[in-house]
Amino acid sequence: VCATPGHTMGCVTYVTGDGPDQPQPRMAFTGDALLIRGCGRTDFPGGSSQQLYKSVHSQIFTLPKETLLYPAHDYKGFSVTTVGEQMLYNPRLIKDEETFKNIMENLNLAYPKMIDVAVPTNMVCGFQDLEPKAN
């Protein structure tokens, strides 16, 4: 389990091992940190473009180039890519850190509906009401 914060504080990437009993090529399940030719937005509570850039470059782009990457979702119907492909063709993450930060700050995405409910709920493992109810 590799910490890959930036989209949110709690993002992780699950990577298969490199031992002989592990699947080959290696696989990584990147959640929303790295999408196919994209990445998760960084304007959510706890998000950080600087942190996401560092997470991807230090935790994902250091894996072998043939490592299969499976993002949480894709809006164009793709389901798998490789580290090597993303290092060559990811239009955001092949840029330098300052350019990446500028791109992410200027996406002009609509504020997600229910994000102010969803993020706090996720932070407490789905429990929306932690106060005991009187009988």
Residue 42 falls inside a structural domain: yes
Instruction: Please enumerate, as own/partner, the contacts of 11-14 that have beta carbons within 8 Å and a separation of 24 or more.
Output: 11/40, 11/55, 13/59, 13/60
Any domain includes 134: no
Q: CATH number of the domain that 70 lies in?
A: 3.60.15.10
What range defines the domain where residue 82 resides? 2-124
**Do the domain assignments include residue 28?**
yes
Total domains in the chain come to 1
Average pLDDT over residues 66-76: 93
CA distance 135 to 120: 26
Q: Is the dihedral of CA 121, 43, 50, 35 positive or negative?
A: positive
C-beta of residue 70 within 8 angstroms of C-beta of residue 30: yes
Residue 53 lies in a domain: yes
CA triple 31-28-82, angle to 5 deg: 100
Residues 94-110 have pLDDT tens digits of 999 999 999 999 999 88
In a domain, 35, yes or no: yes
Do the domain assignments include residue 44?
yes
The pTM score is 0.84
Which pLDDT score, from 0 to 100, does residue 67 have? 97
Rg of the Cα atoms in the chain: 17
Segment 49-66 shows an average pLDDT of: 98
Q: What confidence category does residue 114 fall into, taking pLDDT thresholds of 50, 70 and 90?
A: confident
- pLDDT over 60 at 132, yes or no: no
pLDDT band at 120 (very low <50, low <70, confident <90, very high): confident
In-domain check, residue 132: no
pLDDT number for residue 126: 66
C-alpha to C-alpha distance for 107 and 130, rounded to whole angstroms: 36
Give domain status of residue 51, yes or no: yes
Indicate whether 12 pLDDT > 80.
yes
pLDDT band at 74 (very low <50, low <70, confident <90, very high): confident
